[in-house]
C-alpha cells in the first residue's frame, strides 16, 4: 500500500541554525523558511536526490511540535511521510486492521497542498507516520 518515502520531518528549536547545518555542513540544497501558520510551524524543505527532509520550527503560541521539543531539547525526528495512491482507501484499510488514525479521520491539506493523515505512533513502531496522497 505505501509507496515512496516523501519526507522525513525533523523538529528543531532554531530553524535558521538547523538550515545552516544542512546547507553549510552537509552541503544540501535548502529552501528559504516557509511559514505555515495554519499548521503552527515554520518549515524549510531540503531536497535530496531521492527524498526530502523537512525542518519544523514552532510558530505561534500553541504549536503542535511544542511538546515534542519539550521532550527532545536538541530536536529530533518528528515523523516520516509515505505516499499512497488513494488516501481514503489507505485510511479504510488501516482502520479495518485496527490502526488508529489521528484527529477526525478525515484527510487535511498538508504542507504540500495535498491531503494528509497522521497515524498513531503506538501502532507503527513508535513512529508518527504521515500519509500523503501522491
Ligand atoms: Co510532514
List pLDDT tens digits, range 27-62.
999 999 999 998 999 999 999 999 999 999 999 999
Task: Quote the CA–CA distance of 106 and 101 in Å, as a whole number.
Answer: 9
Q: 132 alpha carbon to ligand 1 midpoint, in Å?
A: 8
Task: Quote the CA–CA distance of 110 and 45 in Å, as a whole number.
Answer: 14
Q: 119 alpha carbon to ligand 1 midpoint, in Å?
A: 12
How large is the average pLDDT for residues 92-117?
94
- 85 grid coordinates: 495512491
How large is the average pLDDT for residues 95-119?
94
Residue numbers annotated as active site? 130
pLDDT of residue 40: 95
Q: 98 alpha carbon to ligand 1 midpoint, in Å?
A: 23
pLDDT of residue 112: 86
Question: pLDDT tier at 111 (50, 70, 90 boundaries)?
Answer: confident
pLDDT tens per residue, range 64-102? 999 999 999 999 999 999 999 999 999 999 999 999 999
Q: If residue 8 lies in a helix (H) or strand (E), which one and from where to where?
A: strand 5-11
Closest CA to 123 of 92, 102, 105, 109: 102
Domains within the chain, CATH numbers bracketed: 2-133 (3.10.180.10)
Predicted TM-score (pTM) of the model is 0.94
Pairing of strands 41-47, 34-36: antiparallel
Q: 97 alpha carbon to ligand 1 midpoint, in Å?
A: 23
Question: pLDDT tier at 23 (50, 70, 90 boundaries)?
Answer: very high
How large is the average pLDDT for residues 122-130?
97
Amino acid at each position: 500500500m505505501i509507496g515512496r518515502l516523501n519526507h522525513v520531518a525533523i523538529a528543531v528549536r532554531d530553524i535558521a541554525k538547523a538550515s545552516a547545518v544542512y546547507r553549510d555542513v552537509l552541503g544540501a540544497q535548502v529552501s528559504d523558511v516557509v511559514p505555515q501558520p495554519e499548521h503552527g510551524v515554520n518549515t524549510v524543505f531540503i531536497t535530496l536526490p531521492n527524498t526530502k527532509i523537512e525542518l519544523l520550527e514552532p510558530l505561534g503560541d500553541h504549536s503542535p511540535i511544542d511538546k515534542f521539543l519539550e521532550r527532545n531539547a536538541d530536536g529530533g525526528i518528528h515523523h516520516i511521510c509515505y505516499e499512497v495512491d488513494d488516501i481514503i482507501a489507505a485510511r479504510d484499510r488501516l482502520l479495518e486492521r485496527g490502526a488508529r488514525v489521528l484527529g477526525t479521520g478525515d484527510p487535511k491539506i498538508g504542507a504540500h497542498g495535498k491531503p494528509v493523515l497522521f497515524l498513531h505512533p503506538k501502532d507503527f513502531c513508535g513512529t508518527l507516520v504521515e500519509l500523503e496522497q501522491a
